[in-house]
Structure 1
Amino acid sequence: MKNYNSKKLALSVAMLGMIATAGSAQADAITLNFHSGLSQTRPEAEHIERFAKLVDEKSGGELKIEVYHAGALGLKEADILRTLQRGMVDMALLYGEYYTRDAPALASVYAQGAITDAEQHLDILPVIKEMYDDGFAKWNIQTVGGVVAPIFDVGLHCKEPVNSLEDLKGKKVRVWSRHLVDTFDALGISAQVIPQNDMYMALQTGVVDCAYYLSTVAKTVSLQEVTEYESYLHPWAASPWIFGISERSLGRLDDNQRQALEEAGQEIWEETREIAVSPEREAQAREERESLGITILPPFSEADVDTFVTAAWGTWKTMAENAGEDGMHYYNTVTQALSE
């Protein structure tokens, strides 16, 4: 009986030791909260979730990312740089054009009209990423990869046939940024910023005659119900979504956890870069829009594209000048790389 009790005691001690070890390992694991303002139905959300899974796997469970989609943490996009800087949230999905109040220069990194061929975007990505790394570092935020947005076709979606800048004169055009308002204004074309959620109604009620929009995903906002014609203008200069971590939160991590975070972020960056440009995707989307009743007109002429790009670069430069020294540095660096 004594021998049996001794074995039982030894087994119990061993089990307690295992539980204590497991508990200690669990206690050592760190969970980082990740803010994303995008809804969980957006394709970017899948890449963020995969990033979180990769971090868990690569760190051996020592580092976990808890993703909060659709602004579930109650944070405002305009405040994210300050929020991260103060360490009030660990990580966030960053988009440079959102921070015009605190970091207007970041909106000068990239602009519509920057590229006329989708492949140019892939060539310029390292330079764009470097500019964002520099800009976010000023806010004590380190970047760890991100999501390279797909390069979609941008076109004019109109109620009447329009496929030239001359046709657009006299029309009211919906756009999504002040830079675009100024670009079309320089061309003698009336444009106004209308949020995506209000675009359908604006077209339906005649507030605008045309929408400057991402043709590839026009179906998702039912543009085929309020417009009949479409003409391609240029590829979308899509600013990438960046994974940013507060330096305060980064300081809590050991070498293994940091490596897992950086490797996972870079892996997502490379994966999304590989699928960013897809002529097959664009052709399929075009066929689908035609099947919905949209008449695809010939694209804008090369001369019109050159005219649009010249105007877009001019207003881009003005935007950079207004943003100060950093804005001009970003503009000059990116445009020089594009010109090479």
Structure 2
Amino acid sequence: MPKRTMRPSPLAVATVLAATLGFASLASAQDYTFKLHHFLGAKAPAQARMLEPWARQVEENSGGQVKIEIFPSMTLGGRPPELVQQARDGVVDLIWTVNGYTPGLFPRTEVFELPTVYGNDPAATNLAIAQMFASDLADDYQGLEVMFLHVHAGQAIQMRDRPVRTPADLSGARLRIPTRTGAWVIEALDATPVSMPVPELPPALQKGVVDGALIPFEIIPPLRIQEQTDYQMEGADGWRLGNTTFQVSMNKARWDGLPAEIQQAFRDASGPDWLAEVGSIWLASDAFGIRFATDGGNEHIVWSEAETDAFRDALTPVVGRWVEDMAQKGIDGAALVDSARAAIQANAAPR
């Protein structure tokens, strides 16, 4: 008597097929998992409003093949100045960091930090940086694949107990700054620069290690800077005393090993529309930060045009100092200044 063949039911076949496809999809997605390491907290605007939306957009662009895990507050180890080397060594896949935490490594990009080069437009500056990257800045980033570069709203002055309306008001003060170009700004104002990563600022203010800081207003809520300061100052029409450049970069070997379509998922998430949006994100975060301070009883001082011009005049020599320093490195700093100013102006939205 012949044996009867047992055929699986259509439901069973569908269940097995779905499970198989699900496992295959999961395995594929795990092939492209990236660790993004940075120095601020998870609730800081940098993560909540910039890094997280960017990461989710990359994941969406990849059709679910990419997963980006964000590790804030240096939770993977090390200190903020070590982030660039962590990416170059492949200890982590991606970083977000301040270029100036590793002085001297990104000299060409410093042009966008200079007072009177940067004024008050982070979106235009982000677009200008991207426009100049391949021709003028790429040599700064050996061992890294840059996803995008950006600035914040710019350096405002925040003081413990001293209002500032003229350059002379800062004479003798000790001010925190993360970059060497920012240190030159402080020195031009007859004050003393104190270099430190931003997480160290609150205790430094509380203990009187510094009298204040050159730093944007967006940092006030996450670090509760309003509790350690009484005054926040900026120039007319949002003018700032220079800026800080940041990077989101990937380990170069990891990047080179990715398929073209995965690389494109990152590129598509990091284009001109995103760079303009990043500028808007930082301006909005800055506006929220200063409201946070004034709601807490702090005084927000906006200089008049004449007061702002006095600071511009005082800081003009900083640009010349930087150009001379670049010449010693064989870099045409004057040409970079001219190009950066022209690119920012070309990308500025009509006012």
Provide the TM-score with structure 1 as the length reference. Answer: 0.76
Amino acid at match of 1:105: P
Bigger Cα displacement from structure 2, 21-30 vs 37-46: 21-30
Q: Please say if residues 105 and 330 of structure 1, whose CA atoms lie closer than 8 Å, have aligned partners that are also in contact.
A: no
Which structure 1 segments of 5+ residues have no match? Answer: none
TM-superposition CA deviations, 1:204-258 (whole Å, max 9, x none): 5655555444345446555555544443243264445433223322233223222
Whether 1:7 and 2:2 are equivalent positions in the alignment is no
Determine the structure 1 residue equivalent to 2:28: 28
**Structure 1 residues 230 and 180: alpha-carbon distance in aligned structure 2, compared to 1, 3 A threshold:** same
- In the alignment, the residues of structure 2 paired with residue 298 and residue 66 of structure 1 have an alpha-carbon distance, to the nearest angstrom, of 40
Distance 1:221 1:319, change over 3 A: farther
* Secondary structure at the counterpart of residue 32 of structure 1: strand
Deviations 1:4-51 (A, max 9, x none): 853228876665555444433433332332232232121121232223
User: After alignment, is 74-83 or 23-32 more displaced?
Assistant: 74-83
Counterpart of 2:95 (choices 84, 92, 95) is 92
Closer, same or farther in 2 for the Cα pair 1:24/1:329, shift >3 Å? Answer: farther
Equivalent residue, structure 2, for 1:333: 336
1:289: which partner in 2?
293
What is the CA RMSD across the aligned residues, in angstroms?
3.8
For residues 207 and 12 of structure 2, the distance between their equivalents in structure 1, rounded to whole angstroms, comes to: 76
**Is the 8 Å Cα contact of residues 175 and 194 (structure 2) preserved in structure 1?**
yes
Q: Paired residue for 2:270?
A: 265
Contact (CA 8 Å) 2:116, 2:312: kept in 1 or not? no
CA offset at residue 163 of structure 1?
A: 0.8
Counterpart position of 2:63: 60
1:43 to 40, 45, 60: 45
- Report the Cα distance in structure 1 between the residues aligned to 2:53 and 2:337, rounded to whole angstroms: 30
User: Residue 107 of structure 2 aligns to a residue in which SS?
Assistant: helix
Cα 1:24–1:252 change in 2 (3 A) is farther
The answer for the alignment partner of 2:72 in structure 1 is 69
CA contact (8 A) 1:35 1:67 kept: yes
- Residue 172 of structure 1 and its aligned partner are, at CA, apart by 1.7
**Bigger shift: 55-64 or 67-76?**
67-76
Give me the identity figure in percent: 17
Q: What is the TM-score normalised by the length of structure 2?
A: 0.74
Deviation (angstroms), 1:154:
0.8
The aligned counterpart of 1:315 is 321
Q: Counterparts of 1:230-241 in structure 2 under 5 Å?
A: 230-233=232-235, 234-235=239-240, 237-241=242-246
